[in-house]
Amino acid sequence: MNVFLDDVRSPTDNSWLLVKTVEDAKSLLLTGQVDMLSLDNDLGTGQPEGYTLVLWMAENNIWPKNKPTVHSMNVARSQFMRDMIDRYFI
């Protein structure tokens, strides 16, 4: 399955499953069935941000089958997320 994490935008086609929270994304990753993952960072006031999911994936070595992509408009966090993915994705 392909997972698109974003609280505002929707994926461009129906091959992606839209999730709006880090917890929902974690639950899907734990199934071991996530092929692709596209990440936003800013997920709404009071909600964990996308970068916390990247930290969790790195700390627990739980990744989608393919290298995650980042579609966030938050320049600083996007770079942080990409750097973490480049460093720790196996």
Residue spans of the domains in the chain: they are: 2-88
What pLDDT, on a 0 to 100 scale, did the predictor assign at position 90? 79
Beta strands in the chain (DSSP E): 2-5, 16-19, 36-39, 69-70
Q: CA–CA distance from 3 to each of 25, 68, 76 (Å)? A: 7, 10, 22
CB 42 within 8 A of CB 5: no
What confidence tens digit (pLDDT) does each residue in 35-87 have? 999 999 999 999 999 999 999 999 999 999 999 999 999 999 999 999 999 99
